[in-house]
Amino acid sequence: MATVDQLITRFVYQHGEISLQGIGTIKLLDAIPDSEYLQKHKLTPIQGLEFIHQKTAVTTPAFVQYYAEQRGKIASLAENDVEAYLSMASQFLNIGNPVELKGLGTIAKQKNGTLVMTAGYFIASKEDGPAPKFRERYQKTAADYAAEKEAEEQTEQRNKTLRGVLVALAAIAVLAIGWWIYKSGIGGETDTAVVATDSGLSATDLSADTSALRPLAPDTNMQVANDNVASAPAAGDTNTLYNWKAVILKISSRRRADSLYNAKYKSYAMPMELDSANGVYRIVTRFQARTADTAAKKQYYQSFFARGITIEPIQ
């Protein structure tokens, strides 16, 4: 397939002249020998070549159309190809490199900035004939745009429905986790004794209804009765075993305390019990230890339960 410079030469042979953007105008004033003669006489010099340097020259529109037909391109792409070639040619000329158009001559830039063209030799030109045209770009109709809009709306509606389902599932999951946390006693535990009655219960109800607490003390499994164990620590005594109570958790609500104990603490391997003091319900465990060992016991329980622990002597 012919290149841009070859098509320039063919166009000049057919039409006698051409203008090239930013370069100038090329004319052939004398007759052009036929191809059969040129095939026999390959070095036939060109006579009657005229070149006019014009910086404001515009490419001959007929040549762009000719190039499009020969290359099988639409007009806009053909114009881009020609402009790209001429831009590159101008750059070559500006840095001092000549540009050769075979079958016409060589264009060069002089020291004063003007362009000149030296005639070359004729070449036998064989027309390739127009190349098949590319199919024109499909133009969308109003029906096409309407169909696309309808498809987009349907997709958006499906996405909204899917988002709604996902939000509902997420809400259900959050509620389920919250209920599990509530039942497991994770969310309602507190380390501080906030004295407040439960909804619908008075302070009298809290102190009177002790059967609902299912207190474990005294429990035979948790009795620390021992003839050698003192009932209360004496001042300065560090060797005698005493009964102690580790307060694990303080809760202001009777129902909450009972629920936490039955759901979580009742199943612990160590003996646990539920008691009350000053209207506050407490989950505790008992142990025997010397006074000097209570600090170590406190540290152990704090590590085990992962919370602050208080140690009280059992009177």
The tens digit of pLDDT for each residue in 55-96 reads: 899 999 999 999 999 989 999 999 999 999 999 999 999 999
Better pLDDT: 144 or 202: 144
Q: Which residues of 129-168 are buried (b: 16+ CB within 10 A; e: fewer)?
A: eeeeeeeeeeeeeeeeeeeeeeeeeeeeeeeeeeeeeeee
At residue 85, the pLDDT reads: 93
- Helix segments in the chain, DSSP class H: 4-15, 35-40, 61-71, 75-94, 142-184, 203-208, 254-263, 294-305
- DSSP SS3 for 163: helix
At residue 103, the pLDDT reads: 86
Could you tell me if 210 and 109 lie in one domain?
Answer: no
Domain tally, the chain: 2
At residue 88, the pLDDT reads: 93
- Contact by Cβ (8 Å): 44, 122: yes
> Among 91, 119, 147, which residue terminates a domain?
119
Residue 34 lies in a domain: yes
As a dihedral over the C-alpha atoms of residue 157, residue 161, residue 166, residue 168, rounded to 10 degrees, the angle is 140
Residue 210 lies in a domain: yes
Residue 38 lies in a domain: yes
Residue-wise pLDDT tens digits, 258-295: 998 998 898 888 889 999 988 899 999 999 999 889 99
Residue 49 lies in a domain: yes
Q: Structural domain of residue 308, as residue ranges? A: 203-313
The helix-helix angle for 4-15 and 75-94 (nearest 10°) equals 100
Residue 306 has a CB neighbour count (10 Å cut-off) of 6
At residue 234, the pLDDT reads: 63
Q: Band the pLDDT of 223: cuts 50, 70, 90.
A: very low
User: Among 87-91, 183-187, 190-194, 232-236, which stretch is predicted with the lowest mean pLDDT?
Assistant: 190-194
> Among 77, 97, 119, which residue terminates a domain?
119
- Contact by Cβ (8 Å): 5, 86: no
> Among 119, 152, 173, which residue terminates a domain?
119
Residue 295 lies in a domain: yes
Residue 139 lies in a domain: no
What is the mean predicted confidence (pLDDT) over 240-266? Answer: 90
At residue 139, the pLDDT reads: 59
229 has pLDDT over 80? no
